[in-house]
Structure 1
Amino acid sequence: MARITHGIACSHIPVLGYAFDHGKEGEDYFRPAFEGFEWTRKFMKEEKPDVIVLVYNDHASAFDMKIIPTFAIGCGESYPPADEGFGARPVPPVEGHADLAWHIAQSLILDEFDMTIINEMKVDHGLTVPLSMMYGHVDTWPVKVIPLAVNVVTYPPPSGNRCWALGEAIARAVSSFGEDLKVQVWGTGGMSHQLQGPRAGLINTEWDNMFLDRLIGDSQDLRQIPHIEYLRETGSEGIEMVMWLIMRGALGRSTRALHRHYHVPVSNTALGHLVLEPVDGSVPPSPTLEQSNAAAQTLVA
Protein backbone atom coordinates (compact mmCIF):
# COMPACT_ATOMS: atom_id res chain seq x y z
CA MET A 1 0.00 0.00 0.00
CA ALA A 2 0.99 3.64 -0.26
CA ARG A 3 2.90 5.09 2.68
CA ILE A 4 4.07 8.50 3.87
CA THR A 5 7.83 8.34 4.30
CA HIS A 6 8.81 11.94 5.08
CA GLY A 7 7.53 15.43 5.67
CA ILE A 8 9.22 18.57 4.39
CA ALA A 9 8.67 22.16 5.52
CA CYS A 10 9.85 24.96 3.28
CA SER A 11 9.27 28.68 2.87
CA HIS A 12 8.08 29.59 -0.63
CA ILE A 13 9.63 33.05 -0.89
CA PRO A 14 9.00 34.41 -4.42
CA VAL A 15 12.39 36.14 -4.70
CA LEU A 16 14.06 32.73 -4.44
CA GLY A 17 12.20 31.76 -7.60
CA TYR A 18 13.49 34.91 -9.27
CA ALA A 19 17.07 34.23 -8.15
CA PHE A 20 16.82 30.60 -9.26
CA ASP A 21 15.38 31.49 -12.68
CA HIS A 22 18.06 34.13 -13.34
CA GLY A 23 21.10 32.16 -12.19
CA LYS A 24 21.73 34.21 -9.05
CA GLU A 25 22.03 31.32 -6.58
CA GLY A 26 25.77 31.92 -6.21
CA GLU A 27 25.56 35.64 -5.49
CA ASP A 28 26.57 36.73 -1.99
CA TYR A 29 23.07 37.72 -0.96
CA PHE A 30 21.37 34.52 -2.10
CA ARG A 31 24.10 31.93 -1.53
CA PRO A 32 23.37 31.24 2.17
CA ALA A 33 19.70 30.62 1.40
CA PHE A 34 20.39 28.14 -1.40
CA GLU A 35 23.24 26.35 0.40
CA GLY A 36 20.76 25.16 3.01
CA PHE A 37 19.04 23.04 0.35
CA GLU A 38 22.12 21.23 -0.96
CA TRP A 39 21.64 18.42 1.57
CA THR A 40 17.97 18.08 0.62
CA ARG A 41 18.67 17.88 -3.12
CA LYS A 42 21.01 14.94 -2.52
CA PHE A 43 18.44 13.37 -0.22
CA MET A 44 15.67 13.68 -2.83
CA LYS A 45 17.84 12.00 -5.47
CA GLU A 46 18.43 9.09 -3.10
CA GLU A 47 14.91 8.88 -1.68
CA LYS A 48 13.02 9.22 -5.00
CA PRO A 49 9.45 9.74 -3.74
CA ASP A 50 6.69 8.80 -6.17
CA VAL A 51 4.19 11.47 -5.12
CA ILE A 52 4.25 14.68 -3.11
CA VAL A 53 1.14 16.05 -1.43
CA LEU A 54 2.21 19.68 -1.59
CA VAL A 55 0.39 22.01 0.80
CA TYR A 56 0.61 25.66 -0.23
CA ASN A 57 -1.45 28.81 -0.55
CA ASP A 58 -2.47 30.41 -3.81
CA HIS A 59 -1.62 34.10 -4.32
CA ALA A 60 -4.62 35.19 -6.46
CA SER A 61 -3.48 33.03 -9.39
CA ALA A 62 -6.09 30.25 -9.28
CA PHE A 63 -8.47 31.88 -6.79
CA ASP A 64 -9.52 35.44 -6.08
CA MET A 65 -12.15 37.18 -3.96
CA LYS A 66 -14.88 35.56 -6.07
CA ILE A 67 -14.18 32.14 -4.59
CA ILE A 68 -12.15 31.36 -1.47
CA PRO A 69 -11.97 27.66 -0.61
CA THR A 70 -10.58 26.86 2.82
CA PHE A 71 -9.10 23.57 1.57
CA ALA A 72 -8.85 22.67 -2.15
CA ILE A 73 -7.25 19.55 -3.63
CA GLY A 74 -6.03 19.26 -7.20
CA CYS A 75 -7.30 16.07 -8.84
CA GLY A 76 -6.19 16.84 -12.40
CA GLU A 77 -3.54 15.36 -14.66
CA SER A 78 -1.26 18.41 -14.84
CA TYR A 79 -0.89 22.01 -13.69
CA PRO A 80 0.93 24.71 -15.70
CA PRO A 81 2.89 27.49 -13.94
CA ALA A 82 0.90 30.70 -13.50
CA ASP A 83 1.74 34.14 -14.83
CA GLU A 84 1.96 36.26 -11.68
CA GLY A 85 2.49 39.52 -13.55
CA PHE A 86 5.96 38.97 -14.97
CA GLY A 87 5.30 35.96 -17.16
CA ALA A 88 5.13 32.34 -16.02
CA ARG A 89 8.24 30.93 -14.36
CA PRO A 90 10.41 28.95 -16.81
CA VAL A 91 9.84 25.67 -14.98
CA PRO A 92 8.14 22.48 -16.19
CA PRO A 93 4.43 21.88 -15.78
CA VAL A 94 3.55 19.93 -12.66
CA GLU A 95 2.29 16.40 -13.33
CA GLY A 96 -0.47 15.24 -10.99
CA HIS A 97 -1.42 11.80 -9.73
CA ALA A 98 -5.15 11.81 -10.40
CA ASP A 99 -5.86 8.31 -9.04
CA LEU A 100 -4.31 9.01 -5.63
CA ALA A 101 -5.70 12.54 -5.55
CA TRP A 102 -9.26 11.35 -6.13
CA HIS A 103 -8.79 8.64 -3.53
CA ILE A 104 -7.56 11.21 -0.99
CA ALA A 105 -10.41 13.58 -1.87
CA GLN A 106 -13.02 10.85 -1.37
CA SER A 107 -11.44 9.69 1.87
CA LEU A 108 -11.20 13.23 3.27
CA ILE A 109 -14.80 14.04 2.43
CA LEU A 110 -16.03 10.78 3.96
CA ASP A 111 -13.80 11.66 6.93
CA GLU A 112 -15.91 14.84 7.27
CA PHE A 113 -13.57 17.38 5.66
CA ASP A 114 -15.36 19.59 3.13
CA MET A 115 -12.82 19.69 0.30
CA THR A 116 -13.06 21.75 -2.86
CA ILE A 117 -12.06 19.56 -5.82
CA ILE A 118 -10.09 21.30 -8.57
CA ASN A 119 -9.53 19.60 -11.92
CA GLU A 120 -7.90 22.51 -13.77
CA MET A 121 -5.77 25.29 -12.32
CA LYS A 122 -2.49 27.10 -12.69
CA VAL A 123 0.00 26.96 -9.83
CA ASP A 124 2.07 29.90 -8.65
CA HIS A 125 5.31 30.38 -6.71
CA GLY A 126 3.72 28.95 -3.56
CA LEU A 127 4.01 25.52 -5.18
CA THR A 128 6.79 25.87 -7.75
CA VAL A 129 9.46 27.56 -5.62
CA PRO A 130 9.70 24.65 -3.13
CA LEU A 131 10.01 22.23 -6.06
CA SER A 132 12.88 24.30 -7.46
CA MET A 133 14.62 24.45 -4.09
CA MET A 134 14.38 20.69 -3.65
CA TYR A 135 15.07 19.51 -7.21
CA GLY A 136 17.11 22.25 -8.88
CA HIS A 137 17.07 22.85 -12.63
CA VAL A 138 15.25 20.01 -14.41
CA ASP A 139 13.53 19.53 -17.76
CA THR A 140 10.66 17.65 -16.10
CA TRP A 141 9.85 17.29 -12.41
CA PRO A 142 10.93 13.78 -11.33
CA VAL A 143 7.87 13.34 -9.10
CA LYS A 144 4.11 13.61 -9.33
CA VAL A 145 2.44 16.29 -7.26
CA ILE A 146 -0.98 16.59 -5.64
CA PRO A 147 -1.59 20.29 -4.91
CA LEU A 148 -3.48 21.05 -1.71
CA ALA A 149 -4.30 24.75 -1.45
CA VAL A 150 -5.17 26.34 1.90
CA ASN A 151 -6.70 29.75 2.48
CA VAL A 152 -4.31 31.73 4.67
CA VAL A 153 -4.87 35.00 2.81
CA THR A 154 -8.43 36.02 3.68
CA TYR A 155 -9.94 35.90 7.16
CA PRO A 156 -10.83 33.44 8.61
CA PRO A 157 -8.05 30.92 7.90
CA PRO A 158 -8.40 27.41 9.33
CA SER A 159 -7.14 26.81 12.85
CA GLY A 160 -3.89 25.02 13.54
CA ASN A 161 -5.84 22.21 15.14
CA ARG A 162 -8.00 21.77 12.02
CA CYS A 163 -4.89 21.75 9.82
CA TRP A 164 -3.24 19.13 12.01
CA ALA A 165 -6.38 16.99 11.89
CA LEU A 166 -6.41 17.31 8.09
CA GLY A 167 -2.85 15.98 8.03
CA GLU A 168 -3.94 12.99 10.11
CA ALA A 169 -6.81 12.37 7.68
CA ILE A 170 -4.42 12.57 4.71
CA ALA A 171 -2.25 9.91 6.37
CA ARG A 172 -5.26 7.64 6.73
CA ALA A 173 -6.22 8.23 3.10
CA VAL A 174 -2.73 7.48 1.78
CA SER A 175 -2.40 4.30 3.85
CA SER A 176 -5.65 2.96 2.39
CA PHE A 177 -4.53 3.38 -1.24
CA GLY A 178 -3.68 0.01 -2.75
CA GLU A 179 -0.77 0.97 -5.01
CA ASP A 180 2.76 0.70 -3.61
CA LEU A 181 3.85 4.36 -3.52
CA LYS A 182 6.36 6.39 -1.53
CA VAL A 183 4.57 9.62 -0.59
CA GLN A 184 5.92 12.77 0.99
CA VAL A 185 3.84 15.60 2.46
CA TRP A 186 5.23 19.12 2.17
CA GLY A 187 4.07 22.14 4.14
CA THR A 188 5.09 25.46 2.60
CA GLY A 189 4.86 29.16 3.40
CA GLY A 190 6.12 31.21 6.34
CA MET A 191 8.11 31.84 8.39
CA SER A 192 7.71 35.20 10.15
CA HIS A 193 7.00 38.05 7.78
CA GLN A 194 4.70 40.99 7.25
CA LEU A 195 4.40 42.68 3.90
CA GLN A 196 2.42 45.82 4.75
CA GLY A 197 1.52 48.31 7.46
CA PRO A 198 3.59 49.73 10.33
CA ARG A 199 5.16 46.34 11.08
CA ALA A 200 6.23 45.63 7.48
CA GLY A 201 9.53 43.76 7.52
CA LEU A 202 8.93 42.09 10.89
CA ILE A 203 11.07 39.00 11.49
CA ASN A 204 10.97 37.12 14.81
CA THR A 205 13.89 34.68 14.79
CA GLU A 206 13.30 33.51 18.36
CA TRP A 207 9.69 32.50 17.69
CA ASP A 208 10.57 30.94 14.32
CA ASN A 209 13.22 28.72 15.87
CA MET A 210 10.90 27.77 18.70
CA PHE A 211 8.36 26.63 16.10
CA LEU A 212 11.00 24.63 14.22
CA ASP A 213 12.11 22.99 17.48
CA ARG A 214 8.57 22.02 18.39
CA LEU A 215 7.90 20.34 15.03
CA ILE A 216 10.46 17.73 16.07
CA GLY A 217 9.44 14.96 18.45
CA ASP A 218 5.98 14.94 20.01
CA SER A 219 4.50 18.21 18.74
CA GLN A 220 0.85 18.00 19.78
CA ASP A 221 0.93 21.36 21.60
CA LEU A 222 1.55 23.19 18.31
CA ARG A 223 -2.00 22.49 17.17
CA GLN A 224 -3.37 24.73 19.93
CA ILE A 225 -1.50 27.93 19.01
CA PRO A 226 -4.23 30.54 18.37
CA HIS A 227 -4.33 32.77 15.31
CA ILE A 228 -3.65 35.85 17.41
CA GLU A 229 -0.27 34.46 18.52
CA TYR A 230 0.83 33.88 14.92
CA LEU A 231 -0.24 37.42 14.02
CA ARG A 232 1.33 39.03 17.08
CA GLU A 233 4.63 37.15 17.01
CA THR A 234 5.22 36.48 13.30
CA GLY A 235 3.34 39.18 11.39
CA SER A 236 0.26 39.07 9.22
CA GLU A 237 1.74 36.57 6.77
CA GLY A 238 3.23 34.34 9.47
CA ILE A 239 -0.16 32.62 9.66
CA GLU A 240 1.07 30.58 6.68
CA MET A 241 2.81 28.33 9.19
CA VAL A 242 -0.48 26.58 9.95
CA MET A 243 0.10 24.82 6.61
CA TRP A 244 3.21 23.23 8.12
CA LEU A 245 0.90 21.62 10.68
CA ILE A 246 -0.89 19.69 7.91
CA MET A 247 2.47 18.16 7.01
CA ARG A 248 3.30 17.52 10.67
CA GLY A 249 -0.09 15.98 11.41
CA ALA A 250 0.44 13.49 8.57
CA LEU A 251 3.60 12.10 10.21
CA GLY A 252 2.04 10.61 13.32
CA ARG A 253 2.80 11.04 16.99
CA SER A 254 6.52 11.74 16.88
CA THR A 255 9.23 12.72 14.39
CA ARG A 256 12.97 13.04 14.06
CA ALA A 257 14.72 15.77 12.07
CA LEU A 258 17.04 14.74 9.25
CA HIS A 259 17.91 18.27 8.15
CA ARG A 260 17.26 21.82 9.35
CA HIS A 261 17.95 25.20 7.75
CA TYR A 262 17.06 28.72 8.90
CA HIS A 263 18.29 31.97 7.35
CA VAL A 264 17.43 35.66 7.52
CA PRO A 265 16.85 37.81 5.72
CA VAL A 266 15.63 36.73 2.32
CA SER A 267 13.89 39.76 0.89
CA ASN A 268 11.96 40.86 4.02
CA THR A 269 11.22 37.30 5.10
CA ALA A 270 12.61 34.54 7.30
CA LEU A 271 13.49 31.31 5.49
CA GLY A 272 12.79 28.03 7.26
CA HIS A 273 13.31 24.46 6.08
CA LEU A 274 12.99 21.06 7.78
CA VAL A 275 13.13 17.45 6.62
CA LEU A 276 11.31 15.16 9.03
CA GLU A 277 10.60 11.44 9.20
CA PRO A 278 8.01 9.69 11.36
CA VAL A 279 9.40 7.77 14.32
CA ASP A 280 6.72 5.15 14.86
CA GLY A 281 5.11 5.04 11.41
CA SER A 282 1.64 4.68 12.92
CA VAL A 283 -1.44 5.89 11.07
CA PRO A 284 -3.68 8.20 13.15
CA PRO A 285 -6.97 6.43 13.98
CA SER A 286 -10.35 7.82 12.97
CA PRO A 287 -13.50 7.14 14.97
CA THR A 288 -15.70 8.03 12.01
CA LEU A 289 -13.86 6.81 8.92
CA GLU A 290 -14.94 3.16 9.17
CA GLN A 291 -18.55 4.20 9.63
CA SER A 292 -18.35 6.66 6.74
CA ASN A 293 -16.80 4.13 4.38
CA ALA A 294 -19.42 1.55 5.34
CA ALA A 295 -22.14 4.09 4.58
CA ALA A 296 -20.52 4.87 1.22
CA GLN A 297 -20.37 1.19 0.31
CA THR A 298 -24.03 0.87 1.17
CA LEU A 299 -24.85 3.76 -1.16
CA VAL A 300 -22.78 2.23 -3.96
CA ALA A 301 -24.44 -1.14 -3.51
Structure 2
Amino acid sequence: MNQLNGAMALLLLMSVSSTAWAVDCRVNGGEWARVTHLTVPVTVRLDADRVRILMEGARLECRFTAGAGPVWGADYWETGNASGTPWTSGPKFVSERSGLRINGSFLNTPVPAGIRVATMPNNGIGYPIDITPYILVRNSPSNPIDVRAGDTLGLLRLTSSNNYDATRPQLTVTYTAANNFTISPSTCTINNNNPIEINFGDVHQRAIGTDPLTSTIRRDRRLTYTCPDPGITTPITITYKGIASSFSPHLLTMTNPNVGTALVRGGVAVQVGSSFLSRITNSVGGDDVTFTLVRRAGTFPTPGATSGSGVLVMGVP
Protein backbone atom coordinates (compact mmCIF):
# COMPACT_ATOMS: atom_id res chain seq x y z
CA MET A 1 0.00 0.00 0.00
CA ASN A 2 1.35 3.25 -1.02
CA GLN A 3 1.37 5.74 1.79
CA LEU A 4 1.23 9.40 1.05
CA ASN A 5 3.39 11.21 3.45
CA GLY A 6 2.48 14.85 3.69
CA ALA A 7 4.21 17.57 5.53
CA MET A 8 2.48 20.56 6.89
CA ALA A 9 4.44 23.72 7.08
CA LEU A 10 3.58 26.26 9.70
CA LEU A 11 2.98 29.54 7.98
CA LEU A 12 3.75 32.37 10.30
CA LEU A 13 1.94 35.50 9.33
CA MET A 14 3.43 38.67 10.61
CA SER A 15 2.17 42.18 10.21
CA VAL A 16 4.10 45.31 10.63
CA SER A 17 2.40 48.53 11.57
CA SER A 18 3.79 51.93 12.18
CA THR A 19 3.22 53.49 15.56
CA ALA A 20 1.21 56.68 15.68
CA TRP A 21 3.01 58.59 18.36
CA ALA A 22 0.58 60.71 20.35
CA VAL A 23 1.08 63.96 22.22
CA ASP A 24 -0.41 65.34 25.43
CA CYS A 25 -2.71 68.27 24.69
CA ARG A 26 -5.87 69.96 25.88
CA VAL A 27 -8.21 72.71 24.66
CA ASN A 28 -9.59 75.59 26.73
CA GLY A 29 -8.40 74.16 30.06
CA GLY A 30 -10.10 70.79 29.56
CA GLU A 31 -8.79 67.34 30.37
CA TRP A 32 -5.35 66.33 29.14
CA ALA A 33 -5.42 63.60 26.50
CA ARG A 34 -2.90 61.75 24.37
CA VAL A 35 -3.96 62.54 20.84
CA THR A 36 -2.90 62.62 17.22
CA HIS A 37 -5.91 64.69 16.15
CA LEU A 38 -8.02 67.40 17.77
CA THR A 39 -11.14 69.28 16.68
CA VAL A 40 -11.47 72.78 18.10
CA PRO A 41 -14.35 75.25 17.68
CA VAL A 42 -13.24 78.84 17.10
CA THR A 43 -14.92 82.21 16.66
CA VAL A 44 -14.73 83.71 13.17
CA ARG A 45 -14.54 87.50 13.24
CA LEU A 46 -13.24 90.44 11.24
CA ASP A 47 -10.15 92.00 12.81
CA ALA A 48 -10.46 95.65 13.86
CA ASP A 49 -8.09 96.76 11.09
CA ARG A 50 -10.28 94.99 8.46
CA VAL A 51 -7.18 93.36 6.99
CA ARG A 52 -7.82 89.81 8.21
CA ILE A 53 -10.67 87.50 9.16
CA LEU A 54 -9.48 85.75 12.33
CA MET A 55 -10.31 82.26 13.61
CA GLU A 56 -9.63 82.57 17.31
CA GLY A 57 -10.82 81.67 20.78
CA ALA A 58 -9.42 78.14 21.12
CA ARG A 59 -6.68 77.95 23.77
CA LEU A 60 -4.59 74.97 22.71
CA GLU A 61 -1.98 73.73 25.21
CA CYS A 62 0.42 70.81 25.02
CA ARG A 63 3.09 69.41 27.33
CA PHE A 64 5.99 67.00 27.46
CA THR A 65 4.46 63.53 27.54
CA ALA A 66 4.90 62.07 31.01
CA GLY A 67 7.24 59.05 31.11
CA ALA A 68 8.30 59.48 27.50
CA GLY A 69 11.89 60.60 28.04
CA PRO A 70 14.66 61.63 30.41
CA VAL A 71 14.20 64.29 33.04
CA TRP A 72 16.41 66.60 31.00
CA GLY A 73 14.41 65.95 27.83
CA ALA A 74 12.58 68.63 25.84
CA ASP A 75 10.09 68.57 22.98
CA TYR A 76 10.32 70.99 20.06
CA TRP A 77 7.11 71.86 18.24
CA GLU A 78 7.25 72.94 14.61
CA THR A 79 4.84 73.74 11.78
CA GLY A 80 3.85 71.09 9.26
CA ASN A 81 3.85 67.30 9.39
CA ALA A 82 3.97 64.26 7.12
CA SER A 83 0.28 64.71 6.27
CA GLY A 84 0.80 68.06 4.58
CA THR A 85 1.52 71.76 4.83
CA PRO A 86 1.14 73.74 8.07
CA TRP A 87 -2.29 75.09 7.07
CA THR A 88 -4.99 74.05 4.60
CA SER A 89 -8.13 76.19 4.35
CA GLY A 90 -11.58 74.58 4.47
CA PRO A 91 -14.18 74.65 1.67
CA LYS A 92 -15.59 78.10 2.54
CA PHE A 93 -12.13 79.70 2.36
CA VAL A 94 -10.37 77.58 -0.26
CA SER A 95 -10.29 80.40 -2.85
CA GLU A 96 -9.10 83.03 -0.38
CA ARG A 97 -5.58 83.95 0.67
CA SER A 98 -4.79 82.79 4.18
CA GLY A 99 -2.07 82.64 6.81
CA LEU A 100 -1.11 81.86 10.39
CA ARG A 101 -0.37 84.22 13.25
CA ILE A 102 2.41 82.40 15.11
CA ASN A 103 3.49 83.83 18.45
CA GLY A 104 2.27 87.26 17.34
CA SER A 105 3.84 87.26 13.85
CA PHE A 106 1.63 87.15 10.75
CA LEU A 107 2.82 84.70 8.08
CA ASN A 108 0.84 84.47 4.84
CA THR A 109 0.53 81.13 3.08
CA PRO A 110 2.44 79.24 1.99
CA VAL A 111 3.67 79.12 5.60
CA PRO A 112 7.00 77.26 5.70
CA ALA A 113 7.23 73.93 7.48
CA GLY A 114 9.72 73.67 10.30
CA ILE A 115 9.00 76.97 12.07
CA ARG A 116 9.64 76.52 15.79
CA VAL A 117 6.38 77.15 17.66
CA ALA A 118 7.16 76.06 21.22
CA THR A 119 9.70 74.27 23.39
CA MET A 120 8.39 72.03 26.18
CA PRO A 121 10.77 70.82 28.90
CA ASN A 122 10.03 67.67 30.89
CA ASN A 123 8.32 69.44 33.77
CA GLY A 124 4.64 68.48 33.41
CA ILE A 125 3.62 72.05 32.63
CA GLY A 126 1.33 72.87 29.70
CA TYR A 127 2.59 75.38 27.16
CA PRO A 128 0.39 77.34 24.74
CA ILE A 129 0.47 76.61 21.03
CA ASP A 130 0.03 80.25 20.06
CA ILE A 131 -1.28 79.92 16.51
CA THR A 132 -4.29 81.69 15.01
CA PRO A 133 -5.34 81.00 11.40
CA TYR A 134 -6.64 83.92 9.35
CA ILE A 135 -8.03 84.83 5.95
CA LEU A 136 -6.72 87.93 4.16
CA VAL A 137 -9.33 90.47 3.11
CA ARG A 138 -9.11 91.41 -0.57
CA ASN A 139 -8.79 94.89 -2.04
CA SER A 140 -11.07 94.01 -4.95
CA PRO A 141 -14.77 93.07 -5.05
CA SER A 142 -15.61 89.48 -4.16
CA ASN A 143 -18.63 87.46 -3.17
CA PRO A 144 -19.62 87.21 0.50
CA ILE A 145 -18.53 84.24 2.57
CA ASP A 146 -21.31 82.66 4.59
CA VAL A 147 -19.93 80.65 7.50
CA ARG A 148 -22.34 78.51 9.53
CA ALA A 149 -21.62 77.10 12.98
CA GLY A 150 -20.03 73.67 12.57
CA ASP A 151 -18.39 74.40 9.20
CA THR A 152 -14.85 73.08 8.78
CA LEU A 153 -12.55 76.10 8.50
CA GLY A 154 -9.25 74.34 7.91
CA LEU A 155 -6.51 72.01 9.13
CA LEU A 156 -3.44 72.94 11.19
CA ARG A 157 -0.54 70.45 11.12
CA LEU A 158 2.27 70.26 13.67
CA THR A 159 5.22 67.99 14.41
CA SER A 160 6.96 67.37 17.73
CA SER A 161 10.65 66.38 17.88
CA ASN A 162 12.96 66.17 20.90
CA ASN A 163 16.56 66.14 22.12
CA TYR A 164 16.85 62.46 23.08
CA ASP A 165 15.51 60.16 20.30
CA ALA A 166 14.24 60.10 16.72
CA THR A 167 10.48 59.92 17.36
CA ARG A 168 8.36 62.50 15.57
CA PRO A 169 4.83 62.66 17.03
CA GLN A 170 2.41 64.54 14.80
CA LEU A 171 -0.72 66.51 15.56
CA THR A 172 -3.46 67.62 13.17
CA VAL A 173 -6.00 70.15 14.42
CA THR A 174 -9.33 70.62 12.64
CA TYR A 175 -10.75 74.10 13.14
CA THR A 176 -14.55 74.39 13.07
CA ALA A 177 -16.80 77.45 13.31
CA ALA A 178 -18.42 78.14 16.67
CA ASN A 179 -20.59 80.93 15.22
CA ASN A 180 -22.50 82.03 12.16
CA PHE A 181 -20.63 84.71 10.25
CA THR A 182 -21.26 86.41 6.92
CA ILE A 183 -18.82 88.86 5.41
CA SER A 184 -17.64 90.16 2.08
CA PRO A 185 -13.88 89.43 2.16
CA SER A 186 -13.19 92.74 0.44
CA THR A 187 -12.21 96.24 1.51
CA CYS A 188 -14.40 97.73 -1.23
CA THR A 189 -17.34 99.55 0.35
CA ILE A 190 -20.84 100.86 -0.26
CA ASN A 191 -21.18 104.43 1.03
CA ASN A 192 -17.93 104.00 2.94
CA ASN A 193 -19.61 101.38 5.14
CA ASN A 194 -21.83 104.05 6.70
CA PRO A 195 -25.43 103.08 7.56
CA ILE A 196 -28.05 104.18 5.03
CA GLU A 197 -30.92 105.59 7.06
CA ILE A 198 -34.29 105.79 5.35
CA ASN A 199 -36.69 107.93 7.37
CA PHE A 200 -40.12 108.16 5.77
CA GLY A 201 -41.32 110.57 8.48
CA ASP A 202 -44.94 110.83 9.59
CA VAL A 203 -47.13 109.17 6.99
CA HIS A 204 -50.93 108.81 6.91
CA GLN A 205 -51.84 105.18 6.51
CA ARG A 206 -54.11 105.92 3.55
CA ALA A 207 -51.26 107.65 1.73
CA ILE A 208 -49.17 104.49 1.50
CA GLY A 209 -49.46 102.87 -1.91
CA THR A 210 -49.78 99.17 -2.66
CA ASP A 211 -47.29 99.08 -5.56
CA PRO A 212 -43.53 99.62 -5.08
CA LEU A 213 -43.30 101.56 -8.35
CA THR A 214 -46.20 103.94 -7.76
CA SER A 215 -46.24 104.45 -4.00
CA THR A 216 -45.77 108.16 -3.32
CA ILE A 217 -44.03 107.53 0.01
CA ARG A 218 -40.48 107.39 -1.30
CA ARG A 219 -36.92 108.47 -0.55
CA ASP A 220 -34.12 108.76 -3.11
CA ARG A 221 -30.58 107.78 -2.21
CA ARG A 222 -27.22 107.69 -3.95
CA LEU A 223 -25.14 104.52 -3.52
CA THR A 224 -21.42 105.05 -3.96
CA TYR A 225 -18.93 102.23 -4.46
CA THR A 226 -15.21 102.56 -3.78
CA CYS A 227 -12.18 100.27 -3.61
CA PRO A 228 -8.96 101.34 -1.86
CA ASP A 229 -6.62 100.20 -4.63
CA PRO A 230 -6.63 102.23 -7.87
CA GLY A 231 -7.33 100.79 -11.29
CA ILE A 232 -10.02 98.25 -10.40
CA THR A 233 -12.59 97.97 -13.20
CA THR A 234 -15.11 95.18 -12.96
CA PRO A 235 -18.84 94.38 -13.04
CA ILE A 236 -20.35 94.01 -9.57
CA THR A 237 -23.62 92.93 -8.02
CA ILE A 238 -25.52 94.70 -5.26
CA THR A 239 -27.70 92.31 -3.26
CA TYR A 240 -30.71 93.44 -1.19
CA LYS A 241 -30.47 91.19 1.87
CA GLY A 242 -33.01 90.84 4.66
CA ILE A 243 -36.30 89.14 5.47
CA ALA A 244 -39.00 89.45 2.84
CA SER A 245 -42.45 90.54 3.97
CA SER A 246 -45.19 87.95 4.20
CA PHE A 247 -47.20 89.55 1.40
CA SER A 248 -44.54 90.39 -1.22
CA PRO A 249 -41.06 89.05 -2.02
CA HIS A 250 -40.12 92.54 -3.25
CA LEU A 251 -40.61 94.13 0.17
CA LEU A 252 -38.40 94.10 3.24
CA THR A 253 -40.37 93.13 6.31
CA MET A 254 -41.23 95.84 8.86
CA THR A 255 -42.43 95.68 12.45
CA ASN A 256 -45.91 96.46 11.15
CA PRO A 257 -46.87 93.25 9.30
CA ASN A 258 -48.98 95.13 6.75
CA VAL A 259 -46.13 97.40 5.63
CA GLY A 260 -42.92 96.70 3.70
CA THR A 261 -40.08 98.65 2.11
CA ALA A 262 -39.04 98.27 -1.52
CA LEU A 263 -35.73 99.05 -3.20
CA VAL A 264 -36.28 100.40 -6.71
CA ARG A 265 -33.46 100.78 -9.20
CA GLY A 266 -33.92 101.71 -12.85
CA GLY A 267 -37.69 101.41 -12.61
CA VAL A 268 -37.53 97.84 -11.25
CA ALA A 269 -38.25 96.69 -7.69
CA VAL A 270 -35.39 94.48 -6.49
CA GLN A 271 -36.62 91.30 -4.86
CA VAL A 272 -35.35 90.75 -1.32
CA GLY A 273 -32.42 88.35 -1.51
CA SER A 274 -31.71 89.10 -5.17
CA SER A 275 -29.34 91.58 -6.76
CA PHE A 276 -28.88 94.04 -9.57
CA LEU A 277 -25.87 94.41 -11.82
CA SER A 278 -23.66 97.49 -11.59
CA ARG A 279 -20.05 98.39 -12.27
CA ILE A 280 -16.90 99.81 -10.75
CA THR A 281 -14.61 101.75 -13.09
CA ASN A 282 -11.15 102.74 -11.93
CA SER A 283 -12.15 101.79 -8.37
CA VAL A 284 -15.31 103.93 -8.15
CA GLY A 285 -18.96 103.57 -9.10
CA GLY A 286 -22.48 104.42 -8.02
CA ASP A 287 -26.22 104.06 -8.49
CA ASP A 288 -29.30 106.15 -7.81
CA VAL A 289 -31.97 104.10 -6.06
CA THR A 290 -35.34 104.77 -4.43
CA PHE A 291 -36.81 103.26 -1.30
CA THR A 292 -40.62 103.17 -1.20
CA LEU A 293 -43.05 102.36 1.60
CA VAL A 294 -45.75 99.89 0.55
CA ARG A 295 -48.82 98.51 2.32
CA ARG A 296 -50.60 95.20 1.92
CA ALA A 297 -53.47 95.53 -0.58
CA GLY A 298 -56.90 95.68 1.05
CA THR A 299 -55.56 96.83 4.42
CA PHE A 300 -54.89 100.05 6.27
CA PRO A 301 -51.92 99.55 8.58
CA THR A 302 -52.37 100.12 12.29
CA PRO A 303 -51.15 103.64 13.17
CA GLY A 304 -47.86 103.90 15.03
CA ALA A 305 -44.13 103.68 14.51
CA THR A 306 -42.73 100.97 12.27
CA SER A 307 -39.16 100.04 11.45
CA GLY A 308 -37.07 97.46 9.67
CA SER A 309 -33.52 96.74 8.62
CA GLY A 310 -31.71 95.21 5.68
CA VAL A 311 -28.24 95.03 4.23
CA LEU A 312 -26.79 95.91 0.83
CA VAL A 313 -23.90 93.62 -0.09
CA MET A 314 -21.41 94.08 -2.92
CA GLY A 315 -20.34 91.00 -4.83
CA VAL A 316 -19.26 89.87 -8.27
CA PRO A 317 -21.36 88.18 -10.98
Q: TM-score, normalised by structure 1?
A: 0.22
Q: Which has the higher strand share?
A: 2
More helix by share: 1
State which structure, 1 or 2, has the greater radius of gyration over its C-alpha atoms.
2
